[in-house]
Amino acid sequence: MKFKFIGNAGGIFTGSNGTKILCDPWIIDGVFEGSWFHYPPLKTKLSDIRNVDGIYVSHIHPDHYDDRNFDFPKDIPLIILDEGPNFLKKNLLNKGYRNFIEVKNDQTVDFKEFKLTLYKPFTKHIFEESLVGNLIDSALVLENNNSTAINFNDNTPDEDACLFLKNKFSNIDLAMLNYNAAGPYPSCFDNLTKDEKKNENKRLLKRNFDHLCKIIPILQPKSVLPFAGSYIIGGKNYYKNDYLGTTTWDECADYLKNFLEFNSKIICLRENQTYDVKNQKQQEKYEKIDLIDMKNYILSIKDKKYDYEKDDMPDTSKLLNEVSAASIKLLERINKFRIKLKSNVFIKIGKKNIQILKGNDHGMNLYCDLDPRLLSRILHRKAHWNNAEIGTHINFKRVPNKMEPDVHTCMSFFHL
């Protein structure tokens, strides 16, 4: 078994008989409402990855499933988790795809020379208390010719999950583990100063790296690939790159080499480089990311326009009415979850903060500010709140600065 890396969470596993499984193909820049870009920029084209035997799509986030450009022959099997609510399957069905290999949680299926096992989210939230939690992620275990690789992508396991996986799969040859904290915090939180944002960036990254140092000795993989969540912000939000909860895979690898108390081989791959999983060999010479070149590249794409910037400004009175209607629907959805949120949520329209959600704690307030054109798109389901958040298009103020993950999860249902 071999793995060829493309970018972010994308790559191709090749089995001992030549079967190819493509994972999470995001190729074209501009996902998350236009702001996410690859670095280094990809040379791979969509036409280069169409000749595969199966496609694993872990979840619906556009850096894993880019619905703008997901155009593959309909006879290629699509490997997806069979778990509800299945937003991914619904979207694929709307695109005319029917050839699914649906795998239930902890179920193993044969696919040519591979054995494939899928897992639903291991935790509701890996670092924060949550009642609703993660609704969409999955992880894939691939077994072939006495080799085992686990593609965790964004589905980071806790210690209990790692103990379960180690007991079940015993000898793990490759663990592909997320090391980043992709999302709006701290870059979009204006209750923080620039220095506080930078300090929070460092805190989050150390938190993530330390978690890997805890779970890797439990999994005991022969090799570890820091994986997924690799991106930069282009367009008018480019300045937020300085405060993202992300970094290069090189920084993660260096940290693990210094502090990991287990003898896993730590590897990094560039685009189209291949790792021989069975023989634990990196087939091409690796060169670290050039940070100066990355900064220059960010400056070269700062004038890219997001699609919503080309829209006409919506009528304010109409927008207010639509926000009011959407807030009623949002509350109905929250009631279905049978949870009580603490935070009061406000959206800025014009110069006024309009309350859309009343929480149980009058002292916890979340203020949201976004382009009215993007807000209009979200309300009419032409864009998505969660994608706008992760794409750094929404500025927040949080008083006090305390995370309530379920508020952000529930805001995904804010639309007409």
Given this model, what pLDDT does residue 126 score? 83
At residue 131, the pLDDT reads 79
CATH 3.30.1050 placement within the chain: 309-413
pLDDT of 285: 96
Nearest to 351 by CA among 329, 372, 334, 365: 372
pLDDT of residue 348: 97
Quote the radius of gyration of the chain (alpha carbons, Å). 21
> What is the homologous superfamily of the domain 2-300 according to CATH?
Ribonuclease Z/Hydroxyacylglutathione hydrolase-like (3.60.15.10)
Query: 105-135, pLDDT tens digit by residue?
Result: 999 999 999 999 999 999 988 888 877 878 8
Global pTM reads 0.96
Q: Do 165 and 172 form a contact (C-beta atoms < 8 A)?
A: yes
d(CA 151, CA 361): 39
Q: What is the pLDDT of residue 372?
A: 98
The residue with tokens 């309300």 is 379
Question: In terms of CATH architecture, what is 309-413?
Answer: 2-Layer Sandwich (3.30)
pLDDT at position 84 is 83
Report, as ranges of residue numbers, the positions in the chain whose pLDDT lies below 70: none
| Strand pairing report for 344-349 and 281-282 | unpaired
Q: Where in the chain is the domain with CATH 3.60.15.10?
A: 2-300
From the list 101, 100, 83, the residue with the least C-alpha distance to 92 is 100
What's residue 180's pLDDT?
92
Q: What is the pLDDT of residue 129?
A: 80
